[in-house]
A and B are shown apart, each in its own frame.
Chain A
Amino acid sequence: MLTRINDWGLGRWGDLGGDLEASFRALDGLRREMDRWATDFDRQFGGVAGGRSLSRVGPRMSLYDAGSELKLRVELPGFQDDDVQLSIDGGTITISGERQVGTPEGYTVHRRERGDLTFSRSATLPTKVDPEKSTALLEHGILEVTLPKAPEAQPKQIAVKVG
């Protein structure tokens, strides 16, 4: 016997996707990519109007300057290390990934919003970085990439002399 589950979630909090642009403010040239994603996801998820995180515009992403390094954070729930690829080419960082959501044996699917996902996006780095010293850590569904700035891009302290 299958149990019916009613969902109160949709519409209760309204459409929460409003300030996505703010999240992406630090990234250049992503507008077209975001538009393409919106189309893909609308097709895939149909009525999930209020969904956030991976829905509609792909993973939420943030790139910021943390002084001696740049930090990139990407929300990737349910991704394993092997599912994500990262490359730095000149002044551009590209991140791509794929998540397969299977159905465990013997289960019936009532609702599938999470789905299989494939994404790829690039961002222009605002300073030169040292790719050799860059690190990436995936924890709790967040990928955090640390990109140490190249020596010539490091902030410099200028001593002030009393004249």
Chain B
Amino acid sequence: MSKDAAMVTRQPQTPDETTSQPRGYERALPLVDVLENDDEILILADMPGVAAHGVDVRLERSELSISGRQAVPDGAEPAWRPLEFARAFTVPDSVEAERVSAELHGGVLHLRLGKGDHAKPKRIQVTSG
């Protein structure tokens, strides 16, 4: 994700906005897995038919939103409506935009949210008074 994308100010969406979605795309919820280790949170989202240029990832404060539009193939059946996958998550404040990266592999979005140093487990030195 580029830094610019992360800086975009965006009001939280309301359900009413679904009526203003681009014509032709049908909104769909991607199925996701959410995993975590000491260094990162890994979100995997099924987005079949979505290429890299169709993906949008935004982080505004603690709201992370992902969306992906299916490419429309040449000569596609008219009745086959392309999907726009969209989903939003609340993430910890410790997730930093510059530590977010996104890749697509075979129609699955791999989103990595690196933890800042302050989010990693810390050892606190105990001193006796």
Contacts and interface: CB of A to CB of B under 8 A. Distances in A.
B6 interface: no
Nearest to A61: B80
A53 interface: yes
Determine the main DSSP class of A at the interface with B. Answer: loop
Given A141-B48, A144-B73, A16 B28 contact: yes
A5 interface: yes
Contacts of B28: 13, 16, 52-53
Interface of A: 1-10, 12-14, 16, 19, 22-23, 25-26, 45, 48, 50-55, 59-60, 62, 64, 66, 71, 73, 75-80, 101, 103-104, 106-114, 138, 140-142, 144
A107 B36 contact: yes
Task: Report, nearest first, the 4 A-B pairs whose CB atoms are least far apart.
Answer: A141-B107, A77-B107, A141-B48, A52-B28
B41 A5 contact: yes
Nearest to A111: B34
B24 interface: no
A55 B31 contact: yes
Interface in B1-42: 13, 15, 18, 26-38, 41-42
B90 A13 contact: no
B57 interface: no
B77 A62 contact: yes
B33 A114 contact: yes
A52 B38 CA distance: 31
Interface string B109-129: 000000000010100000000
B83 interface: yes
B108 interface: yes
B10 to A, nearest CB: 14
Interface in B40-96: 41-42, 44, 46-51, 63, 71, 73, 75-77, 79-81, 83, 85-92, 94
B48 A5 contact: no
Contacts of B94: 3
11 contacts: A8-B88, A10-B29, A13-B18, A51-B30, A54-B46, A55-B31, A62-B79, A73-B80, A103-B35, A111-B34, A140-B107
A52 B81 CA distance: 13
Contacts of A51: 29-31
Contacts of A52: 28-30, 83, 85
